[in-house]
């Protein structure tokens, strides 16, 4: 199978490319190297056609999606803080870039587009979060991804292009260094604590996150590329478990052999999400997806592989 991965040198994208190469697929990867890094693909770079470019480049997208069977769309302005300094650029990348990708896919007869969405769309809905809940995006990032979900569904209905949106919970794992301040809390806490610094926790640390290891997210993408009768669907990807930030710090202290207390600070943003947990029944039914990694197993992988 010939596949195209946007954001292919990024955190999630590089793990996805690695899995696709291991499965023997022909992989074309696109990245603008804003957060992605070539070294993320270094061990298997010779087996990948890596192109530097943007999802805003319609001509390039049309060229790269020729003879492609499945597209995995990971490229995005993927964190709400990116939208605070400027708004038009990240919204354009997420929404207009996605439209241009869908157009290229439609024109070139691509069979399916699997695209990354976000659990931020749920806002402060009661947990566990179900895909059929009424959603109220709490920030511009979430609003842009919800727009993409609707666009994907409409392309499926109007043009017959198969699309599947995966609502990621809080994804963590190796290769997040290049994301810096945009990295998951697991990695940020780990980096601080390995240097003997107290982890900075917003609020009182009782807020929870559904922390899903990156290889489980990759598994969900691979399943979504092959599953039948899921066009136009939106599907949660997580663990179905909650971990408070205080619990996360305790686990990291245990695994690092440290005894660092959180540094609690006032929550600096509006519409902060206090609880996060996915209902995975739809993912299990439509994809056969079940997470494989516990939080401790995932953290151990970061400690071993960076």
* Axis crossing angle, helix 245-256 with helix 185-194, rounded to the nearest 10: 40
Catalytic-residue membership of 141: yes
Beta bridge partners of 164: 114, 233
The backbone torsions φ and ψ at residue 115, rounded to the nearest 5 degrees and listed phi first, read -125, 145
Tokens 């399943």 -> residue:
223
Cα 157 to the center of its chain, rounded Å:
25
Of the listed 141, 155, 168, 213, which one is catalytic? 141
Which of 134, 174, 6, 130 shows the shortest CA–CA distance to 78? 6
Which of 5, 20, 4 shows the shortest CA–CA distance to 215? 20
Q: Which long-range contacts (CB under 8 A, 24 or more apart) does 224-231 make?
A: 224/114, 224/164, 224/166, 224/287, 225/3, 225/70, 225/72, 225/112, 225/114, 227/164, 227/286, 227/287, 227/288, 230/162, 230/164, 230/286, 230/287, 231/112, 231/156, 231/162, 231/163, 231/164
Which of 148, 149, 146 shows the shortest CA–CA distance to 135? 146
Residue 237, SS3 per DSSP: strand
Cite the active site residues. Answer: 141
């Amino acid at each position: 199978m010939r596949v195209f991965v946007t954001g292919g040198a990024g955190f999630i994208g590089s793990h996805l490319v690695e899995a696709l190469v291991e499965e023997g697929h022909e992989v074309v990867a696109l990245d603008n190297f804003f957060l992605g890094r070539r070294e993320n693909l270094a061990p298997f770079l010779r087996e990948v056609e890596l192109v530097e470019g943007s999802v805003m480049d319609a001509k390039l997208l049309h060229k790269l999606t020729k003879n492609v069977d499945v597209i995995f769309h990971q490229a995005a302005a993927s964190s709400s803080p990116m939208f605070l300094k400027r708004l038009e650029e990240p919204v354009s990348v997420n929404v207009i870039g996605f439209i241009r990708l869908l157009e290229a896919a439609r024109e070139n007869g691509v069979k399916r587009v699997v695209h990354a969405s976000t659990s931020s769309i749920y806002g402060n809905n009661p947990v566990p979060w179900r895909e059929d809940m009424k959603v109220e995006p709490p920030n511009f990032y979430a609003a842009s991804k919800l727009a993409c979900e609707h666009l994907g569904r409409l392309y499926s209905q109007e043009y017959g292009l198969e699309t599947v949106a995966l609502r990621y919970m809080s994804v963590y794992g190796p290769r997040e260094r290049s994301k810096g301040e945009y990295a998951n809390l697991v990695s940020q806490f780990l980096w601080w604590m390995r240097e003997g610094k107290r982890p900075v926790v917003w609020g009182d640390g009782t807020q929870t996150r559904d922390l899903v290891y990156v290889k489980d997210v990759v598994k969900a993408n691979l399943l979504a590329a092959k599953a039948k009768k899921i066009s136009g669907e939106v599907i949660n990807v997580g663990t179905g478990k909650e971990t408070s930030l205080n619990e996360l710090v305790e686990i990291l202290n245990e695994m690092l052999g440290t005894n660092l207390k959180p540094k609690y600070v006032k929550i600096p943003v509006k519409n902060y999400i206090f609880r996060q947990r996915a209902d995975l029944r739809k993912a299990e039914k439509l994809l056969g997806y079940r997470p494989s990694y516990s939080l401790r197993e995932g953290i151990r992988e970061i400690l071993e592989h960076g």
